[in-house]
Structure 1
Amino acid sequence: MTAIRLALVPGEPAGVGPELCVRLAQRPRDHDLVAFADADTLRAAADVLGLPLRLLPPDNPATQPGDLGLVVIPNPVRAAFGTPDPRNAPAVIGALRDAAAACLDGRFDGLVTGPVHKAVINEGGIPYSGTTELLAEQAGREVVMMLANDVVRVALATTHLPLRAVADAITAPALERTLRITHAALRTDFGIAEPVIAVLGLNPHAGEGGHLGREEIDVIEPLLVRLRGEGLRLIGPVPADTAFLPARLSGFDAVVAMYHDQGLPVLKYSGFEQAVNLTLGLPYPRVAVDHGTALDLAGKGLADPSSLFAAADTCARMARLRRTLSA
């Protein structure tokens, strides 16, 4: 059986992504790793860290510490750590699109991505709301954002919306899509045959019987009843202030939060360095770091690689499980 192959995109070349990728290349691994990136930027990152880096053609197995396969995506402008240049935005987006296309056509088994600077990409003249949205559009799939660490998995019913808009976005069709995608991913990507999902209420105390809002009564509860009738194991609506107590979490395989800051602060507090960002619903596993470009640390060799390490390990594990299930 051929080794699992992962496509690796460092993200913003002026950020910590290239350094993290060089550190990742030093680790022993049982899968092949190929970066879609600018060669000079990776070499500069290796020099900053004082670590060996041998860039190999993408078809050469890169499984030894210090080896990294490379599909060259040249930056138009030499990257300066800590100072992003919008002229490099096409290369950043090109690397993401090319790596994702290679996953879609089966050349790679999964995609691992570093941090991207949204504002710089938009300043470069490329409309960009996020990598999750870019990959979903490219694959023609509806997706769900999940963040996970060793303590909890949190999927989001809504992502980057102002609070004023959240309640209107919690509709039965939208929430059903989130729950079905999350349920399917827990089975195919995490190997959980009958996943148990806790669904948070939108309002304090899950609406307090309608006294603090009717979204639970009018939208969430009827949907959960219907989906339970199909066999999905859904708990809720659960008040968000008690859902993350350790005794309760032990009974859930994942939590679906209604909005970004309802679930993610708890996850990040419980283990930010090991947290990863997953895009559920794609034809391939995609796992990203759960942090930004950290421009203030770039080029100094100080960035913590734990999240990228966790992302690569998680992506390889998911890809291996998908391969096993499809055999």
Structure 2
Amino acid sequence: MDDSAHDTARTEPAQLPLEPTLYQVKKTIVGQDELLERMLVALLARGHLLVEGVPGLAKTMAIKALAGAVGGGFQRIQFTSDLVPADVVGTRIYNQREGDFQVSLGPVFTNLLLADEINRAPAKVQSALLEVMQERQVTIGRDSFPAPDPFLVMATQNPIESEGTYPLPEAQLDRFMFKVLVGYPSATQEYVVVERMISAAQPPAPVMDTATLLGLQRAADAVYVDPEIISYAVRLSTGTRDLAAAGHAELARYVTFGASPRASINMVLGAKALAFIRGRDYALPSDVRELARDVLRHRVVLSYEALADDVSPDDLLDPLISSVPLPDVDPSVRAPATRAR
């Protein structure tokens, strides 16, 4: 069944709360439509976002603009080589007057955390985010402290100037729902950027509070996903683990480890959020396919041969995604919900 027919089959009442948010962000950001859409998907799907691009492409500005439009708590951590884990999550401080230790919570206790240039900090600082990104809590001493709800990490990193950087470990990368690559704007877009920067900037006005965002997240959770769409996401993930079985034996030598099951989960969660943003109460296979590269590219561990031959994850994912057929799903026929045993 034609996906475009499904897209136009519904009105867009659910999309309205997000349109003012996107409008406020676009008052600051020119172009970058894919990045902005992935940011909204991550917000609704409770996922974390890693943005990679060369300096000067408004990565940090886009995240700050979204934080200004959403409202709620916002903190920015500028990752540097002299940062320590206590600077991120907090620490115990001895109170001489009281005669005991008190906990001072770090900047991660916020709704939207911007981890700027996350690969500039050593591995022990990057690892300080592992617990809070997955379990949404921080353990300091013997006590655990829950992070605010909603809680999202949006991180940026610079792919060039490798001197003084620390590549993110695989366990850290796997915590991110998406890795979005940001490219240069077109000449027309760059003209508008310059025009805006030389005039008085209009900061984004908050058009949403955390209660509204939590309501939108629950609404996105209710989007229907056909079992065939879940199977499609699983086929994409397992295809990265065994490219030969997926019909790409010539590429198998370039992969050391494929994507984890988190990839399948995040493709489906992202598809639900993307469908909600586009005004549908059901996901389509094309939603999964559209998000697949951003979900998978940072989860594929390349071999030394791939590095020697200058093969990128996208070079492997493009033929894999093209070769896995989209399932034929009719959203009007919905399978009954199955109870967990």
Same fold, judged at TM 0.5 (above) = no
TM-score, normalising length: structure 2:
0.26
Q: How does the TM-score come out when normalised to structure 1?
A: 0.27
